[in-house]
Amino acid sequence: MATLDSIKKNLLEQVADIHEIPTGAYSIRVNGKLFGKNDSENIAIVAKTDKQGIDIYVKPGTKNESLHIPVLLAQSGLKELVYNDFHIGEDSDITIVAGCGIHNGGKETSEHSGIHAFYLGKNARVRYIEKHYGEGDGNGKNVMNPTTVADLAEGAYMEMETAQIKGVDSTNRKTKATLADKATLIVREKIMTHGVQRAETHFEVDLNGVDCGTHVISRSVARDNSTQLFVSHVNGNNVCSGHTECDAIIMDGASVSAVPEIMANHPDASLIHEAAIGKIAGEQLIKLMTLGLTEKEAEEQIIGGFLK
């Protein structure tokens, strides 16, 4: 296999916390093409023939395996739409590390749109980690629009951790999930926007099964003149529990809108929504300054902790 240059290695490290091609199952996409892939005994990766993307098949009963599927774009002006479907077998337990890194050194907009569909079998467990990162010294915009659709069968469990901390000019994340009996979906989203960046996230969770539940938790920091929109709809259609929370720190001339909505369509649906937007409390800054930190250092510690 060809090797990655330093720019792409850095992107790989940023989005997947790895320095080299990973061991085990992986599929790495670079500049709009499949760069390399590897199956494991229990995880098969098959390139789609009708459109860009892959199908991933995890055998039932697969335990403690990981799958890396990072996407790296280092060519200014490249726009791609990729479809990845994950078929997670019953009783399996795996970690999936996804993510997209863009290095845009040109003037044109680079854009990656990924549509991920998850089909979790009965009692399957998935930890899905997705980081978005952008960089580049050109004026070209970095755009990422991920869509996640998750279908959780009875007893399935999915934990979704998404982070977008730096360098993405525009993002519109859409997540839609459907839960069967005793299924659980946990979403932890972390976003920080700078400059005039725009981040939108939309969640829609249908709690259809008996005793299913979800927590959709978003923490964000909006700096400079950036704007953010958080929208979530949790629909309790059975005996279920749902919680959606947006907690945002707003700074400078930024703007944040949070719209957490819950809808109970069953008398035994227990749903909670929370939203809080505010600047860093003065007393928090003072407290850390009494420990010897400067105001700037205190601010960074508070933000770093908040998004940790």
Partner 1 sequence: MLELQNVWFSAPAENGGKSEILKNISLKISERFVAITGPNGSGKSTLAKIVAGIITPTSGRVLLDGEDITELSVTERAKRGISFAFQQPVRFKGLTVKDLISLAAGEKLSVAAACAYLSEVGLCAKEYVNREINASLSGGELKRIEIAEILARATKLSIFDEPEAGIDLWSFNNLIKVFEKMHEKTHGSILIISHQERILNIADRVIMVKDGEIAADGTKEDVLPKLFGTMVGCRFTEGN
Site residues (CB under 8 A) for partner 1? Answer: 219, 247, 281, 283-284, 286-295, 301-302, 304-308
Nearer to partner 1, 34 or 280 (CB): 280
Nearer to partner 1, 46 or 307 (CB): 307
Nearer to partner 1, 196 or 286 (CB): 286
Q: How far is the CB of 245 from partner 1 (least distance, A)?
A: 11
Q: Is the dihedral of CA 29, 30, 34, 37 positive or negative?
A: negative
Q: How far is the CB of 292 from partner 1 (least distance, A)?
A: 4
Nearer to partner 1, 115 or 307 (CB): 307
Q: How far is the CB of 25 from partner 1 (least distance, A)?
A: 31
Q: How far is the CB of 266 from partner 1 (least distance, A)?
A: 30
Nearer to partner 1, 174 or 188 (CB): 188
Using alpha carbons only, how large is the chain's radius of gyration in Å? Answer: 20
Nearer to partner 1, 196 or 281 (CB): 281
Q: How far is the CB of 290 from partner 1 (least distance, A)?
A: 5
Q: How far is the CB of 162 from partner 1 (least distance, A)?
A: 16
